[in-house]
């Protein structure tokens, strides 16, 4: 997942070991299948137009991506990967010229899912499931925890977190939110159970061009303006969608609890 991943499983060790092994196996499967940079991944073969036929899991994910594109008014958009070709330029002028030429091919409306096929309306649009797949992996990990009837757990894939149940002493888990201006300290602690919390931030990942730092979170409306956005939702996938969208445009109405926009 190109990030630190952590599991805390509160149960006898043999059961915890079995669950952890199942989660690692599933996470690696998802990573391999949907890697943007692995040329043999299912996603890469879709992006190169080598494959149009979708298995049921991929079809479901792409349909969800299109749904969230619509409900966020285009703010959450898996096709911003189309703009990644512009990252190789070293000057602001080259970057802006490239972005202008590629923007017409960005937007989830540039592809459609018909039965078990994906159809693009041009040869340039690319899809990156990125954090979408990582958050999906968190939700899949939760299924393993529930299947093994583990009462308490924290699943944390690079800051995309699901808190399952309460601690063995029946108190809620305490989750810290980092200060985006000083990541060595926390600005708030949350006491949570049975929910997902995700933070979209660019203080640890950014693009530097001509000495100017830009967020790695981009959209057709420009780079992310917020340093950090935290959302609580019933699933990691949905929390991640809205924390990403809100980091681009903070006035978006969210059906979930929005904690911070900095």
| pLDDT tens sequence across 166-191 | 999 999 999 998 888 888 899 889 99
- Confidence (pLDDT) at 66: 97
CATH of residue 134's domain is: 3.10.520.10
Counting the structural domains of the chain, the total is 1
pLDDT given for residue 152 in this prediction: 98
Q: What is the pTM of this model?
A: 0.88
Q: What would the pLDDT profile of 220-232 be if each residue is shown by its tens digit?
A: 555 556 678 899 9
* Alpha-helix residue ranges (DSSP H) falling in 9-162: 13-34, 42-47, 56-71, 92-102, 130-147
Q: Which helix (H) or strand (E) holds 113?
A: strand 111-114
Q: Which domain holds residue 70?
A: 5-261
pLDDT at residue 33 in the model: 97
Q: What angle do CA 193, 196, 202 make, to 5 degrees?
A: 130
What are the pLDDT digits (tens) for 3-27? 899 999 999 999 999 999 999 999 9
pLDDT score at 202:
59
* CA–CA separation, 128 and 2 (whole Å): 14
Residue 179 sits at φ, ψ, to 5 deg, of -80, 115
CA dihedral 231, 233, 235, 240 (to 10 degrees): -20
pLDDT tens-place string over residues 71-116: 999 989 999 999 988 878 878 888 889 989 999 999 999 999 999 9
- CA distance readout (Å), 257 to 25, 107, 130, 161, 195: 32, 27, 23, 15, 11
**Cα–Cα distance between 72 and 33 in angstroms, integer?**
26
Mind giving me the DSSP string for 170-230? SPPEEEEEEETTEEEEEEEEEEE-SEEEEEEE-SSSEEEETTEEEES-EETTEE---SEEE
Burial class (CB in 10 A: 0-12, 13-18, 19+), 72: buried
């Amino acid at each position: 997942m190109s990030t630190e991943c952590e599991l805390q499983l509160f149960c006898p060790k043999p059961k915890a070991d079995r669950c952890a092994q199942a989660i690692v196996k599933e996470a690696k499967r998802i990573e391999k299948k949907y890697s943007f940079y692995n040329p043999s991944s299912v996603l890469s073969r879709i992006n190169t137009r080598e494959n149009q036929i979708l298995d049921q899991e991929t079809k479901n994910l792409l349909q969800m991506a299109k749904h969230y594109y619509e409900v966020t008014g285009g703010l959450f958009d898996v096709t911003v990967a189309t703009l990644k070709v512009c990252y190789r330029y070293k000057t602001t002028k080259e970057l802006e010229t490239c972005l202008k030429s590629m923007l017409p091919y960005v937007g989830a409306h540039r592809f459609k899912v018909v039965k078990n096929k994906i159809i693009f309306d041009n040869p340039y649009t690319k899809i990156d499931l990125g954090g979408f797949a990582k958050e999906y992996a968190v939700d899949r990990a939760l299924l393993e925890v529930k299947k093994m009837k583990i009462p308490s757990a924290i699943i944390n894939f690079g800051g995309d977190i699901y808190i399952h149940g309460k601690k063995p002493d029946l108190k809620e888990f305490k989750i810290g939110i980092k200060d985006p201006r000083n990541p060595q300290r926390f600005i708030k602690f949350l006491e949570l159970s049975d929910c997902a919390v995700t933070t979209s931030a660019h203080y640890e990942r950014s693009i530097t061009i001509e000495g100017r730092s830009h967020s790695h979170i981009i959209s057709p409306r420009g780079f992310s303006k917020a340093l950090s956005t935290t959302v609580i939702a019933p699933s990691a996938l949905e929390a991640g969608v809205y924390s990403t969208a809100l980091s681009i445009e903070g006035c978006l109405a969210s059906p979930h609890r929005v904690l911070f926009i900095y």
